[in-house]
Amino acid sequence: MLSSLFFSQSCYGCDQQLIRQEKLICFDCLSQMEKTGFHMQPEQNELFYRLAGRVPMEGATSLYFFDKKGRLQQLIKALKYKDAPHIGLRLGQLLGHELADSAFMEAVETIIPVPLHRSKKIRRGYNQAEFLARGLASWLEKEVDTSSLIRQFATLTQTRKNAEARWENVGGAFLCKKSIPQHILLVDDVITTGSTLVACIQALISAPEPPLSIRIASIGMARQG
Ligand SMILES: [Zn+2]
């Protein structure tokens, strides 16, 4: 009994017991999650087209497609609501593994996680996007910047809003506090409409010294339509 308490750890995606070689996520879950491969064509993919035209950027990618009730949804739920920031590090490393040696990452100097409002960060205890960024950065040896971009308003929860209400909800929510690194990658957990990232980019390009290039990466991209 006691030994199982210490040695049994279950997968955050499916609750099956992990074997020694598996780290937080089992091989079955990893094989079930469908990769997008968008980083191979960062300016010619569904995610880029979803955001392009609204704000300037040099490319967008997501590690996986995000399906409701899929394994990735379980992982993101654990990351956001079950006090499991280490899942963020693991998913960030998986993203790093995917993006390593890609032209997409070559120009990136600094990784900026989408910020949480201070009150929400206190409630949750951490910013999940920061853990994704740190996992990614540790794999690719990049800098993480959590101080240049801040969330100045605590917006209402997005989950029950339709697309139009989401745009209104996050507009102007972010602010740049100081000069920003020149070539940045913005990181978020799951992209749905992209309204949050667009609001971040609007704040970045309105800064006194805006970045020269902005790229986007997420762990999941919700399919539309
Ligand atoms: Zn699993």
Mean pLDDT of all residues in 193-202: 94
**Residue 97 domain boundaries:** 34-222
pTM as predicted = 0.90
Q: Count how many domains the chain has.
A: 1
Q: Which residues of 185-207 are buried (b: 16+ CB within 10 A; e: fewer)?
A: bbbbbbbbbbbbbbbbbbbbeeb
> Is-contact 57 49, C-beta < 8 A?
no
Q: Is residue 4 part of a domain?
A: no
Determine the distance separating the centroid of ligand 1 and the alpha carbon of 100, expressed in angstroms: 24
| Residue-wise pLDDT tens digits, 68-116 | 999 999 999 999 999 999 999 999 999 999 999 999 999 999 999 999 9
Neighbours of ion ligand 1 (CB under 5 A): 11, 13-14, 26, 29
> Is-contact 217 185, C-beta < 8 A?
yes
Determine the distance separating the centroid of ligand 1 and the alpha carbon of 155, expressed in angstroms: 33
Q: Is residue 1 part of a domain?
A: no
Determine the distance separating the centroid of ligand 1 and the alpha carbon of 35, expressed in angstroms: 16
Q: Is residue 170 part of a domain?
A: yes
CA distance 151 to 69: 29
| Residue-wise pLDDT tens digits, 152-191 | 887 655 555 565 555 455 668 899 877 889 999 999 999 9
Q: Is residue 15 part of a domain?
A: no
Q: Is residue 9 part of a domain?
A: no
Q: Is residue 24 part of a domain?
A: no
